[in-house]
């Protein structure tokens, strides 16, 4: 391995390179040991994924103190990006809110364990959206506690799981409505403000909606997927903020895989198994490592019990907001978000955060889509009417709960999986076979089912449902793997 060293002030930069034919890899703990550095946050390693790496050694953590954002940071540049913080080397860390080159709304995921800074990041982006004239729909599944300042600063503020479902349904309907309107005028790329503003739909604590056993998991997963599919080209973006050890916990990993691959992914301080999962999901190339983010900046120092005055200092500064922008140009480069609001809790709303939103009303959904957005949108600021809609949703689910006769790939769960989506696949298959002139194979049936524009179904669930329908005598299994309606 060859090494070039450059030092400026007390910052030491090592440029490392392995011989051709090899791929650079490293072990963080050993690297710290070799450099005799006990505080790992003083070291930054960035590789090009091939032969080269830069190792930077700082006199102290370079991200210990972050400034608040400036108004300029909050405005989209010509590439649709805002500045969310700084990389360890002081360079601006950017995140895309919109891609003007393709006219695509963005899909975003922000992961991190409790207290890592997800909701502050959310507030910052919401404030940026307000300043950029983007319509924000925000569901805070901690009952509105995650970002209380957002109330009144966004177009729709939902605080329950039921309201989040209504919001997601409305968002899908708006995307479909926009699609209809745009195709009617022959428009094939989204142009901001012409005629409609960008709409950004965000669910904070999304794990509560999508985790195993959550009451609306199936529908929420479906809506998130659907919005990801349809929203992009019509200016409707979506973001999920979640703590999750496994992507499987968030509605099954295939829901999120596309979002992960193409979306804006931010990883804040994480819990144990998350990293392995990201590698498994192909998000981080294996061999790449991210310097773990400690909870506080107190270096681990070994102290003898006989040392006088070795009292631990509990006031070590935290690392909230520190993370990695995995989809940015420097995925392995540690960054930290700007200081958003006060570090110490404030009684009531935080004036610094309110100031970030700035004065005035937030942007509103275009009138042309109000009908599509439906009654939930119309009554979003009327607590009694919204509560009644949420009650109705809960009641509809309670009615559908029970054993699922035709499983949609998943067995019915105690606590009530919705029956609607499960029964529907059977109905869709029967409709396909009723319309067919000739018997069909399972593969042809699946293709035809997918072509009806309903929800995505896996090969496995089509197979299972065919089996159930055949056993029930509704369809006939012919030879050569063909199926037909039973006569």
Binding site for ligand ADP (CB under 6 A): 112, 114-120, 146, 320-321, 337, 339-341, 343
Which of ligand ADP, Mg ion, none interacts with 2 (beta carbon under 5 to 8 A by kind)? none
Q: Where does this chain bind Mg ion (CB under 5 A)?
A: 118-119, 146
Torsional sign, CA 437, 443, 449, 453: negative
Which of ligand ADP, Mg ion, none interacts with 277 (beta carbon under 5 to 8 A by kind)? none
Q: Which CB, 298 or 463, lies closer to ligand ADP?
A: 298
Which of Mg ion, ligand ADP, none interacts with 112 (beta carbon under 5 to 8 A by kind)? ligand ADP
Nearest to 90 by CA among 65, 110, 71, 72: 65
Q: How far is the CB of 149 from Mg ion (least distance, A)?
A: 13
Which of Mg ion, ligand ADP, none interacts with 321 (beta carbon under 5 to 8 A by kind)? ligand ADP
Q: How far is the CB of 249 from ligand ADP (least distance, A)?
A: 16
Residue 144 φ then ψ, to 5°: 95, 0
Q: How far is the CB of 339 from ligand ADP (least distance, A)?
A: 4
Q: How far is the CB of 126 from Mg ion (least distance, A)?
A: 13
Is 259:225 a contact under the CB 8 Å cutoff? no
Number of neighbouring beta carbons within 10 Å of residue 132: 19
For helices 459-471 and 442-450, give the axis angle rounded to 10 degrees.
110
Q: Which CB, 120 or 380, lies closer to ligand ADP?
A: 120
Which of ligand ADP, Mg ion, none interacts with 392 (beta carbon under 5 to 8 A by kind)? none
User: What gap in Å lies between CA 295 and CA 276, rounded to an integer?
Assistant: 20
User: What gap in Å lies between CA 377 and CA 371, rounded to an integer?
Assistant: 9
Q: Which CB, 55 or 340, lies closer to ligand ADP?
A: 340
Which of Mg ion, ligand ADP, none interacts with 418 (beta carbon under 5 to 8 A by kind)? none
Is 433:484 a contact under the CB 8 Å cutoff? yes
Nearest to 329 by CA among 54, 111, 96: 96
Is 76:130 a contact under the CB 8 Å cutoff? no
Q: Which CB, 113 or 146, lies closer to Mg ion?
A: 146
Q: Which CB, 220 or 242, lies closer to ligand ADP?
A: 242
313-321 own/partner pairs: CB under 8 Å, 24+ apart? 317/64, 318/343, 319/41, 319/63, 319/269, 319/293, 319/294, 319/295, 320/115, 320/116, 320/117, 320/120, 320/269, 321/66, 321/85, 321/116, 321/117, 321/120, 321/121, 321/268
Which of Mg ion, ligand ADP, none interacts with 340 (beta carbon under 5 to 8 A by kind)? ligand ADP
Q: Which CB, 143 or 193, lies closer to ligand ADP?
A: 143
Q: Are strands 199-204 and 264-268 parallel, antiparallel or unpaired?
A: unpaired
Adjacent-strand bridge partners of 59: none
Q: How far is the CB of 333 from ligand ADP (least distance, A)?
A: 18
Q: Which CB, 114 or 305, lies closer to ligand ADP?
A: 114
Q: Which CB, 146 or 332, lies closer to ligand ADP?
A: 146
Q: How far is the CB of 123 from Mg ion (least distance, A)?
A: 10
Q: Which CB, 146 or 322, lies closer to Mg ion?
A: 146
Q: Which CB, 164 or 198, lies closer to ligand ADP?
A: 164
Q: How far is the CB of 109 from ligand ADP (least distance, A)?
A: 13
Q: How far apart are the first and last CA of the chain?
A: 74
Question: In the bound complex, which residue of the shown chain has the CB atom lying closest to Mg ion?
Answer: 119
Rg (CA), the chain: 26
**Which letter does DSSP use for residue 150 in this model?**
G
Q: How far is the CB of 341 from Mg ion (least distance, A)?
A: 13
Q: How far is the CB of 141 from Mg ion (least distance, A)?
A: 9
Q: How far is the CB of 473 from ligand ADP (least distance, A)?
A: 53
Which of ligand ADP, Mg ion, none interacts with 115 (beta carbon under 5 to 8 A by kind)? ligand ADP
Peptide bond into 195 cis (omega under 30): yes
């Amino acid at each position: 391995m060859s090494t070039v060293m450059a030092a400026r002030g007390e910052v030491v930069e090592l440029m490392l390179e392995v011989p051709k034919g090899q791929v650079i890899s490293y072990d963080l703990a050993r690297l710290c040991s070799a450099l005799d550095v006990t505080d790992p946050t003083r070291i930054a390693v960035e590789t090009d994924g091939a032969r080269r790496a830069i190792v930077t050694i700082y006199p102290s953590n370079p991200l210990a103190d972050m400034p608040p954002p400036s108004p300029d940071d909050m405005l989209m540049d010509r590439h649709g990006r805002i500045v969310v913080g700084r990389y360890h080397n002081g360079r601006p860390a950017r995140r895309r809110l919109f891609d003007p080159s393709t006219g695509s709304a963005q899909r975003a995921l922000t992961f991190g364990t409790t207290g890592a800074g997800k909701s502050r990041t959310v507030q910052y982006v919401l404030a940026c959206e307000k300043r950029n004239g983007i319509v924000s729909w925000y569901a805070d599944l901690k009952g509105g506690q995650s970002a209380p300042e957002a109330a009144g600063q966004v177009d729709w503020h939902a605080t329950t799981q039921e309201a989040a479902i209504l919001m997601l349904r409305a968002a899908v309907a708006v995307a479909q409505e926009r699609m209809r309107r745009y195709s009617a005028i022959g428009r094939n790329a989204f142009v901001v403000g012409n005629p409609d503003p960008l709409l950004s739909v965000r669910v904070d604590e999304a794990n509560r909606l999508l985790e195993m056993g959550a009451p609306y998991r199936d529908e929420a997963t479906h809506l998130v997927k659907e919005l990801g599919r349809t929203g992009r080209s019509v200016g409707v973006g979506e973001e999920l903020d979640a703590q999750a050890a496994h992507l499987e916990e968030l509605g099954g990993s295939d829901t999120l895989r596309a979002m992960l691959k193409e979306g804006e992914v931010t990883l804040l301080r994480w819990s144990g198994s998350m990293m392995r999962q990201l590698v498994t999901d192909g998000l981080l190339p294996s061999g790449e490592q991210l310097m773990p983010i400690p909870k506080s900046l107190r270096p681990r120092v070994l102290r003898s019990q006989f040392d006088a005055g070795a009292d631990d200092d509990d006031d070590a500064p935290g690392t909230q907001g520190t993370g990695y922008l995995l989809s940015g140009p420097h995925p392995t480069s540690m960054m930290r978000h700007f200081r958003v609001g006060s570090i110490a809790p404030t009684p009531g709303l935080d004036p610094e955060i309110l100031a970030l939103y700035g004065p005035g009303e937030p942007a509103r959904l275009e009138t042309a889509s109000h009908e599509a957005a439906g009654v939930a949108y119309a009554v979003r600021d009327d607590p009694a009417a919204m509560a009644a809609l949420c009650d109705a949703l809960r009641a509809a689910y309670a009615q559908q709960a029970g054993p699922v006769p035709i499983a949609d790939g998943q067995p019915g769960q105690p606590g009530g999986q919705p029956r609607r989506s499960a029964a529907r696949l059977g109905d869709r298959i029967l409709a396909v076979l009723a319309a067919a002139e000739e018997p069909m194979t399972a593969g042809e049936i699946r293709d035809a089912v997918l072509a009806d524009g309903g929800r995505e179904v896996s090969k496995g669930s089509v197979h299972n449902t065919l089996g159930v329908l055949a056993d029930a005598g509704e369809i006939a299994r012919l030879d050569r793997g063909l199926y037909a309606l039973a006569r």
